[in-house]
Amino acid sequence: MASSRKPPSAERDADPLAPAAAVARFLEEHELRGGRLVVGLSGGVDSVVLLHVLKSRRLRLSAIHVHHGLSPNAERWARFCRALCRGWSVPLAVRRVRVAKAGKGLEAAAREARYAAFRKLKADCLLLAHQLDDQAETVLMNLLRGAGVAGARGMAPLGRLDGKALARPLLGVPREAIVAYARRHRLEWVEDESNADESLTRNFVRRRLGPLIALRFPRWREALARAARHFSSRDTRANELLRAFLASQGLRAPSEAKLVEMLKQLTSGGARTRIEHEGARLRVYRGRLSMTPAQREEDFVPLEWKGERRLPIPALGGELVFRRARGKGIDATHQRLQVRLRSGGERLRPDARRPRRTLKNLFQEAGVPPWERERLPLLFSGEQLVWVPGVGVEARYQARANAPGVVPAWRRIG
Average pLDDT, the chain: 88
Task: Give the pLDDT score at 387.
Answer: 97
Average pLDDT in the 23-31 region? 88
Task: Give the three-class secondary structure for 300.
Answer: coil
Give the Å distances, CA to CA, from 134 to 168, 209, 214: 11, 13, 15
Task: Give the pLDDT score at 11.
Answer: 54
pLDDT reading at 75 higher than 70: yes
Cα(98)–Cα(52) distance, integer angstroms: 29
Query: Residue 86: which pLDDT band, with cuts at 50, 70 and 90?
Result: very high
Q: Higher model confidence: residue 362 or residue 4? A: 362
Parallel, antiparallel, or unpaired: how do β-strands 357-358 and 347-348 relate?
antiparallel
pLDDT reading at 10 higher than 90: no
DSSP string, 107-145: HHHHHHHHHHHHHT---SEEE----HHHHHHHHHHHHHT
pLDDT reading at 213 higher than 70: yes
Parallel, antiparallel, or unpaired: how do β-strands 164-167 and 125-127 relate?
parallel
Tens of pLDDT, residue by residue over 192-210, are 988 888 888 889 999 999 9
Q: What percent of the chain has pLDDT over 90?
A: 56
Query: Residue 12: which pLDDT band, with cuts at 50, 70 and 90?
Result: low
Tens of pLDDT, residue by residue over 304-329, are 999 999 999 999 989 999 999 999 99
Length of the chain: 414
Q: Higher model confidence: residue 376 or residue 161? A: 376
pLDDT reading at 38 higher than 80: yes
Which pTM does this prediction carry? 0.58
Tens of pLDDT, residue by residue over 214-256, are 999 999 999 999 988 887 766 676 777 888 888 888 888 887 7
Task: Give the pLDDT score at 1.
Answer: 53
pLDDT reading at 4 higher than 50: no
Query: Residue 6: which pLDDT band, with cuts at 50, 70 and 90?
Result: very low
Query: CA-based angle 301:413:392, to the nearest 5?
Result: 70
Q: Angle between the 45-55 and 18-30 helix axes, to the nearest 10 degrees?
A: 60
CA 25 to chain centre: 22
Cα(154)–Cα(149) distance, integer angstroms: 9
Average pLDDT in the 327-338 region? 90
CATH number of the 9-237 domain: 3.40.50.620
Where are the CATH 3.40.50.620 domain residues in the chain?
A: 9-237
Cα(52)–Cα(133) distance, integer angstroms: 20
Highest mean pLDDT among 43-52, 246-255, 258-267 belongs to: 43-52
> Are 32 and 62 a contacting pair, CB within 8 Å?
no
Query: Residue 5: which pLDDT band, with cuts at 50, 70 and 90?
Result: very low
List of residues 6+ apart from 18 with CB closer than 8 A: 173, 174, 177, 178, 181
Query: Residue 8: which pLDDT band, with cuts at 50, 70 and 90?
Result: very low
Q: By 3-state DSSP, what share of the chain in percent is helix, strand and coil, each rounded to 5?
A: 40, 20, 40
Task: Give the pLDDT score at 414.
Answer: 63
Q: Higher model confidence: residue 293 or residue 210? A: 210
Task: Give the pLDDT score at 87.
Answer: 97
pLDDT reading at 129 higher than 90: yes
Closest by CA position to 20, among listed 177, 190, 188, 189: 177
Tens of pLDDT, residue by residue over 142-180, are 888 887 776 788 998 988 888 888 999 999 999 999 999
